[in-house]
Structures are given as C-alpha cells and as structure tokens.
A and B are shown apart, each in its own frame.
Chain A
C-alpha cells in the first residue's frame, strides 16, 4: 500500500507516492538527496536529524514522512539559503563550534528556528537548545559560544590569541 504525500521541502513542491512507514529522515536522504540531514541514532536522542517543520525544530527520524503532509519542511540545505544562516554559520566557523561536523546541521537548524521564532533570546534558551543535541567531539563549550554569538549575546573572547 502506498500513500500520497504532498508537502513543501525547501521551496520544492513534493508530490510523491510513498510507503506509509517511510521515515522523514529517509525520505530526505534517500529519495530527495538532502543528505545534510544526518542520522545518528534513529530514535530521537541525538538530534543530528533535526529539521524545521512549520517553523519548529523536529526530529526527522521520529517523524513519518506522511506526517509532513501539507507541511513546510526546511532541511539544512534550505536553511543554508536563508539570511539567518550566514550569521549562525559564521559564528560556528569563528568559534570553532564544530569538529567532525556530523552533529552540526541539526544544531544549526535548532538555533536558526530559535532565532527566527521572534522571541527575545536569553542564554538559558540557547542552553536548552544545545542540551537537546549530542555532540561527541567538541565538548559543547564552543557550540555554546558560537550559538550565543550567533544571536548576539556573546561577542567572542577578547583574550583569544
């Protein structure tokens, strides 16, 4: 049995017959080649697969593709075309907020969603977002700095070499 999926993914109108059990993460990666969405656990813990669905960050590994019916989905590839992205990504670049980069697109999506939410962002908000992602490389220190810099609540370390 197949079901019909109509959705918008990164400005692309999608109209596809899919299996009901197909995960959104697999739809993105295997069928649409949006491989920037990474899968680290496939059960909702690591956050590497985070995308933005209707403005909110969501685990694409815990979402069936069909649940995205009539939604608007943005993956890192779509996010990378936005103006918010430049600020966020350059903060990560400058603060060395990534090493292997596998967890990075998910974190960027979460931060971008927070930034675009229009709310007044405090340090705790950033911490909460980063708390929801696993990174095995950076020890989080520089991710925190980068994320805070991206939203303008941290200027960078003046004493840095």
Chain B
C-alpha cells in the first residue's frame, strides 16, 4: 500500500489535455508520412452469397491507381486470422477445464481477412484499391464490378437454429457457434417450493460502439531494415503485433505497433481487424507506406457490434419476495463470427445474479452465427444484458407479489457481513467467483437517500400530464482481469522518471493517473514523471486497455515496478553509506537518513551512479529501472446501484430522464474527477442503449440505419446532470486496493430506465421487454396494452 500520498486520491488535472485542446493531438489520421498512398476497401453490399467474379479492368486504368487486389491475389500470402491466445483464448481453456463436456461447446472459424468465395455479411472486404489520391481510389472502386450469387440470408437468430435454415459455414452441422451451461444449487426444488414464479423474455438490442474517431491504420514497411511499423487506432497494440506476426509470418521483433492518440474505443477497437493485416501486407508487397481511414458507413458495417441477446428468464420467489431460484436461457446473435468467443456470453452468465443472493440457478447460453456484422464486447461486455434481464424480472416479480420493487431488491442484496461472498459458480478465467469487497446494502441505501433528498418521490404526473416513475438496478462488475499488464519504470540520469505501460488509453487519462501512482510511490514531483503508452517498442509485452482493467492491472504493475526501483535506490545508497536500507527515506526526489536530513543524495545522483560504468552499476545491476508484469489472481469486484426517475409522454412515447443517481464502489479513487468522468460517459452510453441505439437489419440482411442520422447517439439534450456518490471499500486483491470503473456506468441504465418507464406507466399497465425503448416501441406497447384491456 502507498504511504502518505500527494497525488493519488486527488483530482490531478490531466497531462494529456493541452495538446488535445489546442489541436496538437496526434490521432491516426494526423500522422503524415511522405510517399504514403491511400487504401480504399471494396466491401460486399450483399449479406450472403458466393463471389463469382470481380472485374477490375476499368478501375485499373484510372490515373493515380497503383494496384488493385482481390481475395484470390492475397489468399496465398496470408495465414488466416486464427483465434489465438491474444484474444482471451487463454482464459477459455481454463474455464472449459472446469466445465463438463456437454456444458461447454464452442465452434469458431479462422476468418480470412478478405473474402475468398463466400460473403457472410454486408461490409466484408472483397477488394482493395491502392492509389495516390484519396478521392480517386474511391472513384476507381466504383468501377469495380463484383458479381455475387446470392444465398438466402440468415437474419433472425431464432430461425438460424432451425433445421432448414441455410448455413453460414457449410461444413458446420448447424449455425450454433457456442453453448454454455452453468448451474448451482437445487433448481428443481427452488421452483417446486416457490410461492410465485414469473417468466419473461427480454431483448437487449444490437448496438454499435461508434467512437467519434473511427478506426484507421497506417502501415509502413521499410525495406532497408526489414521493419514493419503499424500505427493503428487500437486499444490493443501488443495483441495486434502478435496477430500480424502470425498472419504475415514475420518475427514479432520486426514489427512495431503504435497506437497514437485514440479517439475513443469502448471495445470496438479491442480486437485485431482484417484491415490491420491487409494494410501491412500491401505495404510489404508494394514497399510503400499505406493508409486507410474507416469512414462512418464502414464503421457500422465492419467494426464489431454488440449486445443482441434474447433472454427467456424465469424466477422463483417466496411469499416475502426472497429469491429462491433463477433460470435463464438466452440466445446471442453473434453475426458472421464470434471473435472473442466466450467473453460476452460468459460475462452475462457470471454477472446474472449480480448483487443478489440466488440460492439456485441454471443458465444456458446459445450463440448462433447469422449474416450480420460480428459481435464482440462493447463497454459493459455482456453485463448490461445480464442486468437488464435480472433487474427487469425482479420488478415483474415484485409486481406479481404486490411488493415494492425497491424493497424486494433491498431484501435480496448480499448482506455486508457475508463479504467476501462466494457466488458458487466460476468466472470466465476459471476461478470461483468471490465478491472480494463491497457493501451492497449501504450502496443501495445511499442511493435511496440521495433520491429522497433530491426530488419528490411521490409525484406521479407533471404539469403537462407526463407520467413520472422510478426504477432501480444494481450490478457487480468483475474488473481488472488478467492475464497481466506490464510497466517499466526508469529513473534516467537527469532524475526524470520514465514510465512505459502496455495499457493503451483512448481518453481514460493514463498519462495522468499512472504518473500519480509512480510519483507517490517514488515520492517525486509529478512533473518529473512521463508516461508512455501504446507502443510495442516501449515495453516488450502488453495486453491493452479494455475490460475495466487498466487502473487495477497496469496500476499495480506501475506501483510494483516503482517500489522495486526505490528499493534498488535504498539498497545501493545504504551500502555506500554503510547503514541499513530501512534507515533511508525518500522525499521529493531526495534520499536521506531518517532523522538526519543533512546527509542526503538525490535520485538524479543515484541514477547517474547506476548508469553502466557507474559505481552502483558495477556493484549492482546497471540501470535504475525495473520492469514488472503484474498478474492478478482473478478479477476484483466493483459494484453499485443506479436509480432513474423519468417522465414519460404517453402520447408521443418520448422519455425524459429527470434524475439519475449513481452510487458506485470501485475502492479508493485514484483520481476522483477522472472516475466521475468515466461514470458520466458510461451512463450516457447506457442511456443511449436504453432509449435510442439499435442497429436494424431487414430480411435481406441489409443494415437499415448505418449512419449517424438514423442510428441515434445520445446528445447533450438527452443526458441529465448526474448525482454521483462513492463507496470506497478497498479490494484485497491488489496493492492499491482498487477496482476498475471504465464500464460500470454503462451496465445498469437499460434496466433502471426500463423499470422507471414501466413504473411511470403503472396506470396503463405497460410492460417493457426490450431496449432501446424507442418512442415507436413504447407507443406500440401502450397500444397493445390498451387493446388487450378492451
């Protein structure tokens, strides 16, 4: 643990702000390399079919066009993108070893980065145009004639399971890509003894991450030193390097992947993509630097989508509203492939019980492939879907029992005295789920107090006749997953501190937060610390910034590495002064004997003596630096409660959020302002998922709203100010006691808001079974309810 802190725990203003404010940020498309040519991808506009021919003859003639490639041209030069340990497969093996054979089934395809033969979704890459003018490569692309023989597309995931459904992969038996079954307790007894059983279907719609900066890649192969440098707007430079090495058959030491300033990621930049491989291959082939910037249409049709789960959930309750058992059978539409395998569906399973004591549960997940964009985790990663199913069914059960949904929730929370609490099933890293810390009842009570002090909770209508309602949802989140993150801490001969980490930010403030940790650990001024991120040449191994993990995993690595550096300092100085290292104190870059501050040296002097050839270097190891790869034992659980108060216009279907309350426990806050910023951004995304965002496909597998006019992102006028409180129960699982926060805000809003809408409309009796609750959906439900009553 840290002793006295000057920076950790306070809202240190961000180091990265200045360049971003004055237009000097260095985003992918801002990197200009002379001689760089432009790449445009020709993508399928058909969802399912066989490419019969590609005619590039006219396009090739266009001036400024350097080269056009099709799948056949590139096929032999590439290994396919086999799922590898770089993408979470490392945990899959462990998890499956804890499950029975019939309970764990996964089938995945090695994706080819460019279509050879079969097209499986609108947006797949069919040809690549390379040229010297960004406008002309698009002109030329329009002259390419692609003939695709259409096959009946598979669009509805339920139909995908039927025997007569066309198959996405011909050599598969059916379209199932995954089946997971997890249970605990005596589920039959739970349901047999129940006073009340309710069952409902809940759908979390398919959504797009839509960072404001789209993806992009620059690849530059330099012949003279046979080095490939790839700049990518990615969350995972090190895993991308591994993929490139395998796909291109290059030693990874010859590849450098750099993530410059990244304009938002939220999970959609956390997998390796075909474009990274294709740009690299073409740069190697043509021996020129090449650049591709995803346009917004491509973002909707080639960057991963997420959510899209249909839950059939059933809950058994006793007369007092205690949960006896829970059954859930859910279907996930994973689109044309499932690049991260179990991550999203298993996260749903692992987080389903959430903050509640559920004595028996039986959960089945099935994933199917369809002719849509592949599904992969997006901020929340399976948890919002779990909370939407669980916290909705609780409200339905409460109504059935004639009880207050807030009371029912409170009654079922894991009591604080039960912490640490074993859930009785495993996490996706194969370790048993143990809620290591937290105080759920206190969290809940704090949220209710905030609510009561901030508004009139009895008010049911406003002046204009809108219905007002309240809804709550709770959540836990396994954060800080492994396998590891790296940190290198070096004091250079000028006394300045260099920190390199494998984590790679997209706005989370790593250059500030990890400087706080390093500065306090070494007891130096924060101005003397410089944090470098997103560069595989800066630190040999890394994982990336995703899954609410960086503060925990990279934070612990920085802390451990800095601690070791300080130990090294003390051992060397103590040796020279012939005292014990324990007698030394470090403060503000000075090292001195406790109680005798007159005898002192500085970090700068010590670092100089550690330089190769220096006094300390001879006696100890040269270089005042340490590199740590910190491996967490398993995840650490953050938790929280959200309450939404909404006004619903029953004539237009419009929903306004009047009050939004967040009480969150991510342990001690490293930088409160940044934590609150993460929560606010997360909640806005949760509100988007609850009310606005859904990618729709028609029966032909055509996306119907792949643009920012028809796919509605939350805007300023739709997001209220938030009331945020923190509980800070420390995690026992890492040296700083912290838990992750990146995704938390996104998890419960769909459930809390849907509950609030339903509560507002109690008089009418409307039920909400899906998000987003668009005006159209809501008006339909109101209409249906009214008709049913006639």
Q: Which residues on A are within 8 Å of B, measured CB to CB?
A: 19, 21-22, 26, 29-30, 33-43, 45-46, 48, 75-77, 79-80, 85, 89, 92-94, 96, 98-105, 108, 127, 130-131, 133-144, 160-161
Question: Would A29 and B29 count as touching, CB distance under 8 A?
Answer: yes
Question: Would A38 and B27 count as touching, CB distance under 8 A?
Answer: yes
Known: A29-B29, A137-B681, A141-B721. A94 touches B21 (CB 8 A): no
User: Is B163's beta carbon under 8 Å from chain A?
Assistant: no
Q: Which residues from B are CB-within-8-Å of A135? A: 212
Question: Would A40 and B680 count as touching, CB distance under 8 A?
Answer: no
Expressed in whole angstroms, the Cα–Cα distance for A101 and B22 within the complex equals 10
Q: Which residues from B are CB-within-8-Å of A36? A: 22-25
Expressed in whole angstroms, the Cα–Cα distance for A161 and B264 within the complex equals 27
Expressed in whole angstroms, the Cα–Cα distance for A21 and B715 within the complex equals 31
User: Is B731's beta carbon under 8 Å from chain A?
Assistant: no
Question: Would B27 and A133 count as touching, CB distance under 8 A?
Answer: no
Q: Which residues from B are CB-within-8-Å of A133? A: 716
Q: List 24 A-B contacts (CB under 8 A).
A: A22-B135, A29-B29, A39-B29, A41-B708, A42-B296, A43-B709, A45-B707, A46-B708, A76-B23, A89-B21, A96-B13, A99-B509, A99-B681, A101-B21, A102-B25, A103-B263, A104-B21, A131-B715, A136-B211, A136-B264, A138-B681, A143-B716, A144-B716, A161-B10
Q: Which residues from B are CB-within-8-Å of A30? A: 134
User: Is B604's beta carbon under 8 Å from chain A?
Assistant: no
Expressed in whole angstroms, the Cα–Cα distance for A39 and B323 within the complex equals 51
User: Is B191's beta carbon under 8 Å from chain A?
Assistant: no
Expressed in whole angstroms, the Cα–Cα distance for A82 and B458 within the complex equals 51
- Chain B: minimal CB distance from A161 (Å): 5
Question: Would A35 and B212 count as touching, CB distance under 8 A?
Answer: no
- Chain A: minimal CB distance from B197 (Å): 38
Known: A38-B27, A42-B295, A139-B681. A101 touches B10 (CB 8 A): no
Question: Would B11 and A161 count as touching, CB distance under 8 A?
Answer: yes
Chain B residue, CB-CB nearest to A26: B134
User: Is B459's beta carbon under 8 Å from chain A?
Assistant: no
Question: Would A99 and B210 count as touching, CB distance under 8 A?
Answer: no
Question: Would B677 and A99 count as touching, CB distance under 8 A?
Answer: yes
Contact of A100 among B135, B264, B715 (CB under 8 A): B264
Known: A92-B17, A100-B507. A142 touches B134 (CB 8 A): no
- Chain B: minimal CB distance from A159 (Å): 11
Question: Would B23 and A45 count as touching, CB distance under 8 A?
Answer: no
Expressed in whole angstroms, the Cα–Cα distance for A94 and B14 within the complex equals 9
Q: Which residues from B are CB-within-8-Å of A34? A: 23
Expressed in whole angstroms, the Cα–Cα distance for A30 and B683 within the complex equals 36
**Complex interface bits, B1-39 against A, C-beta within 8 A gives 1, otherwise 0:** 000000000110110111011111101011010000000
Contact of A96 among B14, B506, B719 (CB under 8 A): B14
Contact of B14 among A29, A43, A93, A161 (CB under 8 A): A93
User: Is B672's beta carbon under 8 Å from chain A?
Assistant: yes
Q: Which residues from A are CB-within-8-Å of B295? A: 42
Question: Would A89 and B22 count as touching, CB distance under 8 A?
Answer: yes
- Chain B: minimal CB distance from A105 (Å): 5
Chain B residue, CB-CB nearest to A161: B672
- Chain B: minimal CB distance from A92 (Å): 6
Q: Which residues from A are CB-within-8-Å of B721? A: 141, 144
Question: Would B17 and A142 count as touching, CB distance under 8 A?
Answer: no
Additional 4 contacts, C-beta under 8 A, given A131-B715, A160-B673 = A36-B23, A36-B25, A101-B507, A143-B716
- Chain B: minimal CB distance from A147 (Å): 10
B residues 79-125 in Cβ contact with A at 8 Å? none
Q: Which residues from A are CB-within-8-Å of B634? A: none
Question: Would A140 and B719 count as touching, CB distance under 8 A?
Answer: yes
Expressed in whole angstroms, the Cα–Cα distance for A94 and B162 within the complex equals 57
Contact of A101 among B263, B672, B680, B722 (CB under 8 A): B263
Most buried by A among B13, B14, B677: B677
Most buried by A among B21, B509, B685: B21
Closest CB pairs A-B (n = 7): A36-B23, A101-B20, A102-B263, A100-B507, A139-B684, A99-B507, A76-B23
Chain B residue, CB-CB nearest to A99: B507
- Chain B: minimal CB distance from A32 (Å): 11
User: Is B388's beta carbon under 8 Å from chain A?
Assistant: no
User: Is B508's beta carbon under 8 Å from chain A?
Assistant: yes
Expressed in whole angstroms, the Cα–Cα distance for A96 and B214 within the complex equals 23
Known: A80-B22, A96-B674. A136 touches B29 (CB 8 A): no
Contact of B27 among A21, A98, A102, A108 (CB under 8 A): A102
Contact of A136 among B261, B266, B716 (CB under 8 A): B266
Q: Which residues from A are CB-within-8-Å of B266? A: 136
Q: Which residues on B are within 8 Å of A, measured CB to CB?
A: 10-11, 13-14, 16-18, 20-25, 27, 29-30, 32, 134-135, 210-214, 261-264, 266, 295-296, 506-509, 672-674, 676-677, 680-685, 707-709, 713-717, 719, 721-722, 745
Q: Which residues from A are CB-within-8-Å of B714? A: 139-140
Q: Which residues from A are CB-within-8-Å of B11? A: 96, 160-161
Contact of B684 among A103, A130, A140 (CB under 8 A): A140
* Interface SS of chain A: loop
Q: Which residues from A are CB-within-8-Å of B509? A: 99
- Chain A: minimal CB distance from B140 (Å): 15
Known: A93-B21, A139-B719. A103 touches B212 (CB 8 A): yes
Known: A38-B263, A139-B682, A160-B11. A98 touches B21 (CB 8 A): yes
Q: Which residues from B are CB-within-8-Å of A101? A: 16-17, 20-21, 25, 261, 263, 507
Question: Would A100 and B211 count as touching, CB distance under 8 A?
Answer: yes
Expressed in whole angstroms, the Cα–Cα distance for A19 and B722 within the complex equals 48
Expressed in whole angstroms, the Cα–Cα distance for A39 and B681 within the complex equals 21
- Chain A: minimal CB distance from B54 (Å): 27
Question: Would B214 and A40 count as touching, CB distance under 8 A?
Answer: yes
Q: Which residues from B are CB-within-8-Å of A92? A: 17, 21
Expressed in whole angstroms, the Cα–Cα distance for A49 and B665 within the complex equals 37
Q: Which residues from A are CB-within-8-Å of B213? A: 38, 40, 100, 102
Contact of A94 among B13, B16, B18, B264 (CB under 8 A): B13
Question: Would B716 and A93 count as touching, CB distance under 8 A?
Answer: no
Q: Which residues from A are CB-within-8-Å of B680? A: 138-142
Q: Which residues from A are CB-within-8-Å of B682? A: 139
Question: Would A98 and B719 count as touching, CB distance under 8 A?
Answer: no
Contact of B716 among A96, A99, A131 (CB under 8 A): A131
Question: Would A96 and B673 count as touching, CB distance under 8 A?
Answer: yes
Contact of B23 among A75, A99, A140 (CB under 8 A): A75
Question: Would B708 and A136 count as touching, CB distance under 8 A?
Answer: no
Q: Which residues from B are CB-within-8-Å of A142? A: 677, 680
Most buried by A among B296, B683, B685, B722: B296
Q: Which residues from B are CB-within-8-Å of A103? A: 212, 263
Expressed in whole angstroms, the Cα–Cα distance for A39 and B294 within the complex equals 11
Most buried by A among B25, B676, B709, B721: B25
Question: Would B23 and A48 count as touching, CB distance under 8 A?
Answer: no
- Chain A: minimal CB distance from B78 (Å): 30
- Chain B: minimal CB distance from A110 (Å): 12
- Chain A: minimal CB distance from B449 (Å): 16
Chain B residue, CB-CB nearest to A130: B716
Expressed in whole angstroms, the Cα–Cα distance for A135 and B20 within the complex equals 14
- Chain B: minimal CB distance from A55 (Å): 19
Question: Would A98 and B715 count as touching, CB distance under 8 A?
Answer: no
- Chain A: minimal CB distance from B573 (Å): 36
